């Protein structure tokens, strides 16, 4: 089922009172988010990620198009559309002199959900803050602040969680903890997530799909498998064999693109063809010791997407 349906959405910022040209922040974007998936929104600074997220959350009006969440139009039925969404867009608004716990208690009362201490404790545990929850918020690291913000965002058990650059500014340790948290949130709560970032490698271990945003447009949406290995017809494999040169001659006979590199035969082919290639090599007395898919470089991917 589709949780979010974005259709032909555009957003233009007009600078009032200034002689500046309008900013086309989001241009004709269409994108669906499936229930249960983690969708990465990847783009350089200024690509339009935050604007698109604000449009999904109804925080800024769109110039064209429509967005539906759980079937409800964000513009026409805002309250219903947003009732099951949790979000962390800018730094969380929490009180510096309250402890983490006091902040969450206060917020839960404010929300009118005044949840039990047990339930709150399980959320604190999920975001990995149990040990420091009684420390003052101002003593938290950026990563801890972000995780408390996420605790706040998931208190009302949302079906969709939207996080805008949650790893921005975190050190490698903080990024690792955040990544583990995303995977846990998906596992424990089954929550659908949209996570934006300008760093692809941060998304690679977390997301199911990635939408590539360039200058306000979604240029491509790829599954993680496609991100890593390309489309099926153009996948690269390395076959380590006893006689690579002889293997190359046999495989080239098939009209398959192949070459020898570092004692391995590199072939570009559909993955369904690999089994019969290996069999043919073995039938011709060549031993195949190992076979691997070759991951594409991030540079290759950027070239392909940004064109
Ligand atoms: N409130 C605003 N008023 C005018 N221009 C804006 C505003 N917010 C963002 N922009 C512009 O819109 C473009 C997209 O920005 P943004 O959505 O913040 O990108 P990202 O989150 O990917 O860095 C940028 O050119 C930015 O300067
Ligand atoms: Mg942004």
Q: Is the dihedral of CA 238, 243, 245, 251 positive or negative?
A: negative
Cα 239 to middle of ligand 1, angstroms: 47
Q: Binning pLDDT at 50, 70 and 90, where does residue 230 land? A: confident
CATH number at residue 240: 3.30.70.100
Q: Is 45 in the pocket of ligand 1 (CB under 6 A)?
A: yes
Query: Tens digit of pLDDT for each residue in 16-72?
Result: 766 778 999 999 999 999 999 999 999 999 999 999 999 999 999 999 999 999 999
Query: Tens digit of pLDDT for each residue in 140-178?
Result: 999 999 999 999 999 989 999 999 999 998 999 999 999
What is the model's pLDDT at position 295?
87
Q: Binning pLDDT at 50, 70 and 90, where does residue 299 land? A: confident
What is the model's pLDDT at position 18?
65
Q: Report the percent of the chain where pLDDT is more than 70.
A: 99
Q: Is 212 in the pocket of ligand 1 (CB under 6 A)?
A: no
Q: Is 48 in the pocket of ligand 1 (CB under 6 A)?
A: yes
* Atom 3 of ligand 1: nearest residue by CA position: 13
Q: Is 50 in the pocket of ligand 1 (CB under 6 A)?
A: yes
CATH number at residue 68: 3.40.50.300
Number of domains in the chain: 3
Q: 114 pLDDT exceeds 80?
A: no
In this structure, the answer to whether residues 8 and 104 fall within a common structural domain is: no
Domain containing 277 equals 230-306
In this structure, the answer to whether residues 205 and 130 fall within a common structural domain is: no
Cα 46 to middle of ligand 1, angstroms: 6
Q: Which residue has the higher pLDDT, 91 or 263?
A: 263
The least confident of 7-16, 60-69, 80-89, 109-118 is 109-118
Q: 90 pLDDT exceeds 80?
A: no
In this structure, the answer to whether residues 236 and 212 fall within a common structural domain is: no
Q: Which of 10, 21, 23, 26 to mutate to test the pocket of ligand 1 (most atoms within 8 A of CB)?
A: 23
Query: Tens digit of pLDDT for each residue in 276-293?
Result: 999 999 999 999 999 999
In this structure, the answer to whether residues 78 and 166 fall within a common structural domain is: yes
Q: Which string of b and e fits 140-179 if b means at least 16 CB within 10 Å?
A: beebbbbbbbbbbbbbeebbbbbbbbbbbebeeebbebbb
In this structure, the answer to whether residues 15 and 65 fall within a common structural domain is: yes
In this structure, the answer to whether residues 64 and 105 fall within a common structural domain is: no
Q: Is 21 in the pocket of ligand 1 (CB under 6 A)?
A: no
In this structure, the answer to whether residues 31 and 139 fall within a common structural domain is: no
Cα 83 to middle of ligand 1, angstroms: 26
Q: Is 54 in the pocket of ligand 1 (CB under 6 A)?
A: no
Q: Binning pLDDT at 50, 70 and 90, where does residue 119 land? A: very high
Nearest atom within ligand 1 for CA of residue 47:
22
What is the model's pLDDT at position 271?
86
178 within a domain of the structure (yes/no): no
What is the model's pLDDT at position 141?
92
196 within a domain of the structure (yes/no): yes
């Amino acid at each position: 089922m589709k949780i979010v349906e974005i259709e032909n959405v555009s957003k233009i910022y007009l600078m009032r009172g200034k002689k500046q040209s309008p900013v086309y922040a989001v241009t004709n974007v269409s994108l669906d988010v499936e229930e249960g998936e983690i969708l990465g929104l990847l783009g350089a600074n200024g690509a339009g990620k935050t604007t698109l997220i604000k449009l999904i959350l109804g925080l800024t009006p769109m110039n064209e198009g429509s967005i539906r969440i759980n079937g409800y139009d964000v513009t026409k039925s805002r309250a219903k559309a947003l009732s099951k969404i949790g979000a962390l867009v800018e730094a969380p608004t929490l009180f510096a002199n309250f402890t983490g716990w006091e902040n969450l208690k206060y917020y839960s009362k404010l929300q009118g959900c005044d949840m039990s201490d047990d339930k709150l404790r399980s959320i604190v545990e999920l975001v990995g803050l149990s040990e420091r929850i009684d420390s003052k918020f101002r003593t938290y690291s950026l990563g801890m602040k972000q995780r408390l913000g996420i605790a706040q965002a998931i208190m009302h058990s949302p079906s969709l969680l939207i996080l805008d650059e949650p790893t921005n500014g975190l050190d490698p340790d903080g990024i690792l903890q955040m990544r583990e948290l995303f995977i846990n949130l998906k596992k424990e709560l089954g929550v659908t997530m949209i996570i934006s970032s300008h760093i692809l490698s941060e998304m690679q271990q977390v997301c199911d799909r990635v939408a590539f945003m360039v200058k306000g447009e979604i240029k491509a949406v790829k599954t993680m498998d496609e991100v890593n290995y390309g489309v099926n017809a153009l996948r690269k494999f390395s076959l380590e064999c006893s006689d690579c040169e002889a293997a190359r001659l046999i495989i080239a006979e098939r009209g398959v693109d192949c070459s020898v590199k570092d004692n391995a035969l590199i072939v570009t082919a559909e993955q369904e063809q690999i089994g019969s290639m290996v069999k043919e090599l073995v039938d011709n007395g060549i031993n195949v010791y190992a076979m691997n898919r070759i991951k594409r470089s991030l540079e290759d991917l950027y070239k392909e997407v940004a064109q």
